[in-house]
Structure formats: structure tokens, C-alpha cells
Structure 1
Amino acid sequence: MINFKAIFTAQLASVLNGQLSEEAITDLIETPKKPAHGDLAFPCFTLAKAFRKSPASIAEETACQIQGPYIEKAEAAGPYINIFYSKEAASAVIMEKILIEEKEYGQLNDGADKTAVLDFSSPNIAKPFSMGHLRSTVIGNALGNLAEKCGYKAVRINHLGDWGTQFGKLITAYKKWGSPDKVKENPIKELLSLYIRFHEEAEANPALEDEARSWFKELENGNKEAGILWNWFREESLKEFQRVYDMLGIHFDSYNGEAFYNDKMESVIEELIAKELLTESDGADVVQLPDEDLPPCLIKKSDGATLYATRDLAAAFYRKAAYQFDHSLYIVGQEQSIHFRQVKSVIKKMGYEWADNMTHVPFGLYLKDGKKMSTRKGRVILLEEVLDEAVLLAKNNIEAKSPGLENKNEVAEAVGIGAILFHDLKNDRMNNIEFSLEDMLTFEGETGPYLQYTNARAYSLLRKADDLPSAKNGLSDSYSWEITKLLYQYPEKIRQSYMQFSPSVLAKYLIDVAQAFNKYYGQVRILENDAGIKARLALVKAVTIILSDGMQTLGMKVPQKM
């Protein structure tokens, strides 16, 4: 692909006689917000001292010397040099590249022969898959897809919450109030009910907490009854989770959860002791982190129990050995930021520089009535119910507007679930999101259904056309040029999305493409049988390629008819 920015950079470097390096020039080049100000712009402020002239004078004298392939004109606008490319020549090159490569357009080699490990979703077993897990799940999946678009091998890990004192509470609750038949009939719903009841009863009867700790100790010590119950709870939970993952179109390469590391922590603790990093504090074993301005990292409690940090240390060493990762991403809520800084700092103190490749990717919360959702307090919204309701609403809309549509159920599922996914991913991941089904399922504006409908509209134009798309000739109108410039940016938007660990960069870009195309659709007779029809169809085809691939990268399905 021709690098239009590089052409402008080379021209400027030549004219400026080495006053600025090509790298410095490239860093200064801007994309004007208004099309009237050109396609690229260079501010001359940094040259004022060297030339002993005003930036405006430098721009005036320099602009007339800029010429090159694909550059239609260069003009001075105050202190800026604005470049206008030849729309017809440049658009032909861009569209031809996209039409030839199709899904390969936007595929990068940044991560060639490298591995990215992504730890995401990670629900607690024996609890329902709630809206609170949606963000980690869909952000992590999108980042996995983006990593693959950048050339990395992506390893997706579901670090299940399948160990801890909560299982002592659940075993206690089940033995006191549980019914085997009820659990078999509706495992997660019944287990959640028992879990909530335990906390309600424990407020009046604190002795239940002691009983729960005792049962967890039995589980840790290999008690047969406790182990059978734990395995049952885990298996039933995974069946439940898999149904939701199937709806979302998400897969994992590993379901190794907390319990997997039970026999892998001792070697880490021994190494900490050998390197004299473990100290005693109030009876507990900790690693002090004063140089990192962090609280001590708890490794073992006074009763000998290990903690999350111990398991995450063991997991990090295991994953490095198993996958030799170049990036290790933890897509976990922002409330765990200090924890992951501690884990990373401990590994660095142990002398392992690869800790620098471990990155916590935090995100905000889904809130209900301004409060964090809590399984313990019963303030939980089940994700599967939300997905089902979204699909039902989409189905009702299809029945009302397109009753003759083929594959209505498949389209309704793609649209309903796509609405939920996109509503999450278009938001900056650090923002909290107030749960509102109404907002998620709005089928107008900057939404998933809007993207899908725009794409289906473009496919419809291609089906109706008598001609085939051809990029042999470009287009010269301003509406098509605005779309073409956006399509040209797709590979860089993929790169930015992954490097910033922010799927919202891609999501917002796709909205820009869709809006530009709909503006074009409203202003230009695309199917008019004249000399430009093949080029217009090439542009429409290019739009379907970018929107389709972009939505699939975010995890959405792409119906061609709606």
C-alpha cells in the first residue's frame, strides 16, 4: 500500500534541506479535522528559530515547492502547509488494495512469531454468569482477536474462580439447606440461592463462618465428600458458562483456574525464601515493596493459607514456561490494579525481567442504580437473561419491519447479541457503565445494529447492481473521498486498538465509516448506470470488507441481509 504520509514527509524533508529529520517531520504531520483544510497538514512553528522567519512566511515559501505523486496541490494556510491529494488517483490505489486483499487488509505483522496470553472472563464457579462478567469477557475476546490481527498467536485463558473460602460456605449451606433434586434441576440458580442464604443466616449466627472455614480446610486436606461436592459444583458451572460463551461466540484455550495452581505455589514460595525476599509481618509471610511505593504483598497468612497473589505468581511462572509469552494481559477490573502491580513487582524483585511484559488491562464496572453488582447481596442481573431479551427484541423488530426476511432467528441472534457487545466495546474501557437494557438495545444511533444495518445496506446495493465492482478508475467526489480516507486508516486503527488495549478505538472508527457511507448513500445515486458505476461499486464493496472484518474482530456476527 502506498504510504501517503511518507510521500508528504519525503517532499518536506527535501525542501527543508535537513532542518528536520524525516522522523520528526512525520511526528508533526496532522490530519485536519475539516476536509476544506486538506488531507494532511504540517505546522511550521518548530522551523521559526532555524529560518529566523515567522511560521506563516515559512509555510508560504515552502508550500509552492511541494509536489509529488498523488499530490494535487499544496497551499499555505497561516502557519500550516496543507496538502490535497488527487482524489481519483489515490482512491483507485486504496480501493484496489482493499478489494484484492479483502480480509487480509488490516492484517499486520507486528506480532509475527510472538505470543500474547490473555487472562479474561474468569467467573466464579457455583455462581451465575452475571452482567458483572460481561466487560472482562467481551473486552478480552476483542483484544484476543486484535492480537491475532496484529500477527500474534493469542492464547485465551479462563482463570476460573474455582477455589477459596466461598466453597466452604457453599458446602456448609448445601449440607444444611440444600436439596440434591433442586440442584440437579437448576444447579446455578439453586447454588446462588444457597450462597445468598448463607450470608443472610451468618449475620445472625456468626458460628456459620467458623463451620465454613472448617469445611474449606477439609476440602484443602482432600476430604472425599468435600471434593465430590466441589467437583459437582465446578462441572455444573462450566456447562452453564459454556452455554453463554456459545451465545457470545467466545472460546478459550485453557480453563485452568485457581485450583490448578494448588501444587505449583510451593516452588514459588521456596524461591522467595532462597532469595531472602520473604519476611514476617504480624505472623504473615510477605514481600516488602517500599521502593515501588506499594503495600507489602501477602504470600501466606498467619494460618499458612495462601492468597490470590500466591496463585497469580504461580500462574505467571507457569504461563511463561508453557507459552513463552511476549505479552501477558490480565483483563480484570480496575479495583485490582494494586494487586497486579504487587505481583509484577515481586517477579521483578525475583530477578525476572519478563515481568515488564505483564500488563493489567483494567476497566470500569457495570453499575445497577449507581452501585456495584454483588452476588452476595443478590444484586445481580443474569447475562443469559439479558442476551435472551435482546434477541427477542430483535426478533420482534424483524417481524414488524421485515417479516419475509430469510433466517430470521439467526439474524435476530446476531443483532440482539451484537447490540450488547457493541454497547460495551464502544465505551472507553475505564468508564463505568450504568446498566440499562433500554440503552443497550437502541437500534438507532451509535449502536451495533446501526453498523450491521449499514453493512447489510451496502451488501444489498451489490446484489442489485448489474455491474461488478472495479477499482481501475478512482472517484473524485468529496463524499466518496471522505469514506476512502477512512478505509485507508483501517490497518492503523487495528494497530492502535491493540497497542492501547482499547477495542473502543476500533468501535468508534467503524461508526465513523458507517456514518460516512450513509452520508454518501444519501447524496449519490450509486447504481446510476454511467461511467462511474464500477468505481462506486468498488467503494461499496470496500465498505463491506472493512465493516464486516471490523465487526468480526470485535466479536460480532455480520448478517448480509436485514
Structure 2
Amino acid sequence: MEKGGNVTMITRIASTINKMVNSEITINEIELLIEQPKHAEQGDLALPCFRFARTMKLAPNQIAAQIASGFTCEGVIKVEAVGGYVNFFLDILTIAENVITEIITQGNHYGDSDAGQGRAITIDLSSPNIAKPFSMGHLRSTVIGNAIANMLEKNGYTPIRINHLGDWGTQFGKLITAYKRWGEENKVRQDPIRELHQLYVYFHQQAEIDESLEKEGRQWFKCLEDGDTEAVALWKWFREVSLEAFSRVYNLMGISFDSYHGEAFYNDKMRAVVEMLKNADLLEESEGAKVVRLDDEGLPPCLIMKSDGATLYATRDLAAAFYRQDHYAFAVSLYVVGNEQTLHFKQLIAVLNKLGVPWANDLVHIPFGMILKDGKKMSTRKGKVVLLEEVLEQSIQMAHNAIMEKNPSLHNRKQVAKQVGVGAVLFHDLKVFRQNDIEFSLEDMLRFEGETGPYVQYTHARACSILRKAAWNQEYPTSFTTFGKDERAVVKQLAAFPEEVEKAVKEWDPSKVAKYVIDLSQDFNHYYAHTSILQGVKEEEKAQRLALVHAVSIVIKESLRLLGMEAPEEM
């Protein structure tokens, strides 16, 4: 994805280096190489030169010396070569003036880019199963996908959030069997998801004793596929009450979708895919089933149709891919689906390539790790599940209890408790690199200190409190005359924001923004602890410091918004 209109200090440096080294490495690639040194005496930014060695036919230390000797760029006051690195020392006053002015004038649009030029990107996310509880297991796809969508929008794309509901399959035959045998309509109407889930779990418990239940479940699913009136009516009911329950959870998290087309939507669209594969002479028979062989890709065969004529996930996802391209003309189609489905998506893309589809490689699987309980995957079949709605409600209650203890006079405490409680759960997930597993721990999730959502939200509230006390009217100085070490760290963080958002989009990794806003909050809190902002300072210095505080509040709020969180002004 190309860069849009936002030009940062790192971009300027990368552009200058690109002209100097005349190598095959692009400006964007150089930007990703630039890093922050571990120690302040090593400069503000550093470029390792090892990547240039092969194309320039020079040792990294020679390349570093060559760059350092001829480098000039606005905002850089000193450049030095140390081994294979080039260290850059920035003119912090000029940068502060430019960055703070830019943030205050642009507000939440600071860091916006036009890279996407309005192009559509479909995002397959969340996708819970009908008639099953919305468990913690569905949290990751939901919040990672939503955060990526927010960041894409900031980078000029048009994200299309698709909730590909699990609303078809043999499990519905099992559920209909369970309801017909043991279900009570009144109980289901009173608490649909809990009751249906209990019936589903009970079915599997009984199926271990009575093997005929599995056959009965398959028969009811066949009735559903054939359009049997009773089976279809029950399925529609299960779907309707499930969506009502899911909407409560989505509303709590402030997440909405552009499409709820689930698996059932593609029932009448799969025949065309099978015909397409037949006409391309790609379908082969294997033990009665129809497959597409992918030996040349080093992959196992992709199963398209069972021996009984039933279609599978691959058939359905192929139909969905064609539908999404036809309806949205996507530039990229994202699938925010767990690590365990990696092979499935490799096969899907390989089949589309065999069909000669020009957009086959525009499908991107964004895998993530699991939320584990006691080191094991949660299972709805065995009833070992933690309900997301209950976790959110408990988190909100704990936040409310903390407010009543520390700030009982807070006038909008219920709203703040919701913002903090929900934010704690979302941030706990998003601060972790998506491919790592997360151990479910309510205690860790709901901590209100350390690298947590509430800590970042409290930092935003603190900045807002300072501005209220100062009765700040958003007038800021046109030039900056002095900045100390602690202010320097904050300014550098503020300047890095657009770059961090761009990196997060390039790598489909919201944790970069979460980690960034933790670092910004820590630097700001360190600054606040060591610097007087309102008392005993000259008016000119006070104006500078308040402008910095306001800029911090804007960037923290926007960082949280990208992660799908709110930023309370009081806590």
C-alpha cells in the first residue's frame, strides 16, 4: 500500500537517503528500517545500513559514513555514523512547532492519509455461530478486524465490515433434534442463547450414549436443506433470536457491520462455482468426493463436494469471494480468522489462481492466536465457554466500583464505567500481537494500572483535567523557544504517530497502535510528574506546555478510537 499525503520526519529522512544510496530499496522500505535508538545519546532516529550492502557493493560501515558525510534535511541538526548505523539528531524545537501546530489544527485528522484513494477493502470478521453463545473465543476476530477497519479508513480506504455468520451446517440438524426432543418454547423465548446452547451441549452428551442421535441430526439437516417447513421455521427462529443477543454485545463494544450475509446466503450461489470448476477441468473424483488437486502448490487436495453431494466451507468461501468481488469490487479482501484456518485459505487462494482469477492474490488471511482457558481452547460443544457479554458487564461493574471508591462525585459515572470497562477488555486483547495466544484472566484484563486500557484512558482524562484547570482557549504559540528532555520524548512520540498507524496497516497489526499509545502515555505521565505546567512558569512557557498537553490529548483519543475504544475526559 502506497503512502498518502502525510509527510513525516521519517518520510523526509527516508526520501533523502533513497536519493543518496541509489539502491533498489524503496522509500517505504527505508522508512520501515528507521528505528529509535535505545539510548538518547545515540540520537533521535537511527538507520541500520546492512540492507544496502548487497546492492551498493560496500560494507555497512562505509555506507553509513557515506550517508552521514553528505546528508542534509530540514529538521535534522546533526548526523553521525557509528559502525553500520547512521544516527540522526533532530531539531526538536522546529519539530515541536510543526508537529504540535499540525495536531491542533488537524485534530482527529492528524495522521490521515489518502493512500487508499477510496478503494474498497472487504473485511470478514467476528462471524459467531447462530444459536451458540457469543464467547470470549469470538472477541479476537471482532476487535482485531474492527481496529484494522478503522485504520484502513484513516488511510483513505473504504472498509466493508462483513459478519459472515455461521448460520448453516449439520449443527442445525443436531439443534433441531435437541429442541424437538428436550426443548421447551417458553424457556427458549425467555433466554434463547443460553437455552439453545444447553440443548446443543446436552445433545452431544446424549450422543455419546445413543449413537442414533447423530443420524437423526443429519436427517433433520437434510430436511432443512430440502426446505422442510418446520425445519426452516425453527432455523429462522434460532437465527433471529441469536442476532438479537449478538446485537447487545456489538452495541456494548460500539461495533457495527455493513453486511450480515452468513453461510446460508451462499446456498444458491455454490452451484455456479462447481460448474466453473468443472468447465475449467479442475474437478477430480477422490473416494466418491469431488476435489481440486493442489499437488503443484505443495498443498493437500481442496474438497469441494462430499460423496453425498453436500458442499463444504471451501465451496462456500469460493462463492463468497466471487460475490464480494462482483458487489464491492474490492482492492483487497481480508479474512480475520484464527491461525488454525491457515491451510484453508492457502487452498482457497490456490484454487482461485487455478481458475485464472486476476484478483486471487488480493485475498489475505489475517490469522490470530486463541484465547485459552487453563491453557486449553474453549469448546462450545463441551460447554467450557466464557461468555463475552458477561465479561463485559462484569468489567463495567468493576469499573463502576472503582469510580465510586475514588471519585464518587463524578457526574457521568455510569457512562465512564462503560467506557472504561469495555475498553479494558478490548485493550487487553489488542495490545498483544495478534498471532500470539492469550490466556484468559479476568484479573489481568481488569487491572487499572500498568499497560492497560484504563491506564491510557486515565492519561487522557488527566490531560483534559489540566486543560480545564487552565481554562485553555486553544491559543498556541507560533514558535517554541525551549524544551526539556522530558518534553522532547513526548514530542518525538507525537511525531511518530502517523508512521505507527501506517505500519499497523501494512502489517495488519493493531498492537502497534496499542503499544504506541502506551509509550506515549508513559512519556506524558513522566513529563507531568517532573514538570510544572501551570504553577511558577512564565506565560510563554505555560502556553507551550498547554499546547503540548492538548496535542497529547488529541493523539491519545485518536489512538483509542482506532482501537475501537472511547476516551473519557474525566475519571
Q: TM-score range by the shorter chain?
A: over 0.9
Compute the displacement of 1:69 (Å): 3.5
Corresponding residue number in structure 1 for 2:466 = 461
Compute the displacement of 1:353 (Å): 2.1
Compared with structure 1, are the counterparts of its residues 522 and 268 closer, same or farther at alpha carbon in structure 2 (3 Å cutoff)?
same
Q: Is 1:256 the equivalent of 2:261? A: yes
Q: Give deviations 1:384-437, integer Å, cap 9, x for gaps.
A: 110010000000000000000121000000000000000000001111111110
1:473 to 479, 503, 518: 479
Letter in 2 for 1:500: E
Q: Is 1:432 the equivalent of 2:432? A: no
Compute the displacement of 1:39 (Å): 1.7
Compared with structure 1, are the counterparts of its residues 69 and 331 closer, same or farther at alpha carbon in structure 2 (3 Å cutoff)?
closer
TM (norm. structure 2) is 0.93
Q: Is 1:300 the equivalent of 2:300? A: no
Corresponding residue number in structure 2 for 1:137 = 142
Compared with structure 1, are the counterparts of its residues 284 and 109 closer, same or farther at alpha carbon in structure 2 (3 Å cutoff)?
same
Q: Give deviations 1:339-368, integer Å, cap 9, x for gaps.
A: 111111111111102010001111111111
1:162-181 matched pairs, under 5 angstroms: 162-181=167-186
CA contact (8 A) 1:5 1:26 kept: no
Letter in 1 for 2:558: D
Q: Give deviations 1:415-467, integer Å, cap 9, x for gaps.
A: 00000000000001111111110010011000000000001000111111145
Q: Is 1:105 the equivalent of 2:114? A: no
1:501 to 496, 500, 508: 508
Q: Is 1:407 the equivalent of 2:429? A: no
Secondary structure (helix, strand or coil) at the match of 2:372 reads: strand
2:280 to 267, 272, 275: 275
Compute the displacement of 1:7 (Å): 5.1
Letter in 2 for 1:473: S
2:559 to 550, 557, 561: 550
1:486 to 486, 493, 507: 493
Please, which moves more after superposition, 546-555 or 29-38?
29-38
Measured in 1, the distance between the counterparts of 2:64 and 2:376 equals 57
Measured in 2, the distance between the counterparts of 1:206 and 1:58 equals 72
Q: Give deviations 1:172-221, integer Å, cap 9, x for gaps.
A: 11111111111111111111111111111111100011111111101111
Compute the displacement of 1:246 (Å): 0.3
Corresponding residue number in structure 1 for 2:533 = 526
Compared with structure 1, are the counterparts of its residues 532 and 22 closer, same or farther at alpha carbon in structure 2 (3 Å cutoff)?
farther
CA contact (8 A) 1:48 1:55 kept: no
CA contact (8 A) 1:330 1:361 kept: yes
Compared with structure 1, are the counterparts of its residues 255 and 102 closer, same or farther at alpha carbon in structure 2 (3 Å cutoff)?
same
Number of equivalences: 559
Q: Is 1:186 the equivalent of 2:191? A: yes
Corresponding residue number in structure 2 for 1:381 = 386
CA contact (8 A) 1:142 1:554 kept: yes
Measured in 1, the distance between the counterparts of 2:248 and 2:64 equals 64
Measured in 2, the distance between the counterparts of 1:426 and 1:219 equals 43
Letter in 1 for 2:500: K
Compared with structure 1, are the counterparts of its residues 231 and 544 closer, same or farther at alpha carbon in structure 2 (3 Å cutoff)?
same
Measured in 1, the distance between the counterparts of 2:363 and 2:58 equals 48
Measured in 1, the distance between the counterparts of 2:507 and 2:181 equals 49
Q: Give deviations 1:79-111, integer Å, cap 9, x for gaps.
A: 544332222122111111111111111111111
Compute the displacement of 1:113 (Å): 2.6
Measured in 1, the distance between the counterparts of 2:454 and 2:64 equals 49
Compute the displacement of 1:19 (Å): 7.1
Compared with structure 1, are the counterparts of its residues 205 and 445 closer, same or farther at alpha carbon in structure 2 (3 Å cutoff)?
same
TM (norm. structure 1) is 0.94
Secondary structure (helix, strand or coil) at the match of 2:186 reads: helix
Q: Is 1:514 the equivalent of 2:507? A: no
5+ residue gaps, structure 1, are none
Compared with structure 1, are the counterparts of its residues 54 and 83 closer, same or farther at alpha carbon in structure 2 (3 Å cutoff)?
closer
Q: Give deviations 1:292-349, integer Å, cap 9, x for gaps.
A: 1111111110011111111111111101101000111111111111111111111111
Measured in 1, the distance between the counterparts of 2:249 and 2:258 equals 16
Secondary structure (helix, strand or coil) at the match of 2:359 reads: helix
Compared with structure 1, are the counterparts of its residues 535 and 276 closer, same or farther at alpha carbon in structure 2 (3 Å cutoff)?
same
1:318 to 320, 323, 340: 323
Compared with structure 1, are the counterparts of its residues 284 and 98 closer, same or farther at alpha carbon in structure 2 (3 Å cutoff)?
same
Q: Is 1:195 the equivalent of 2:200? A: yes
Corresponding residue number in structure 2 for 1:354 = 359
Measured in 1, the distance between the counterparts of 2:542 and 2:519 equals 24
Q: Is 1:561 the equivalent of 2:566? A: no
CA contact (8 A) 1:126 1:188 kept: yes
Q: Give deviations 1:270-305, integer Å, cap 9, x for gaps.
A: 111111000100000111110111111111100111
Corresponding residue number in structure 1 for 2:3 = none
Letter in 2 for 1:296: P
Please, which moves more after superposition, 187-196 or 446-455?
187-196
Corresponding residue number in structure 1 for 2:544 = 535
1:228 to 219, 227, 233: 233
Secondary structure (helix, strand or coil) at the match of 1:450 reads: helix
Q: Give deviations 1:468-487, integer Å, cap 9, x for gaps.
A: 44141224212111111111
Q: Give deviations 1:497-555, integer Å, cap 9, x for gaps.
A: 11111110111011010011011101110113412111111111110111001101100
Letter in 1 for 2:545: R
Q: Is 1:336 the equivalent of 2:349? A: no
- Cα RMSD for the two superposed structures: 2.4
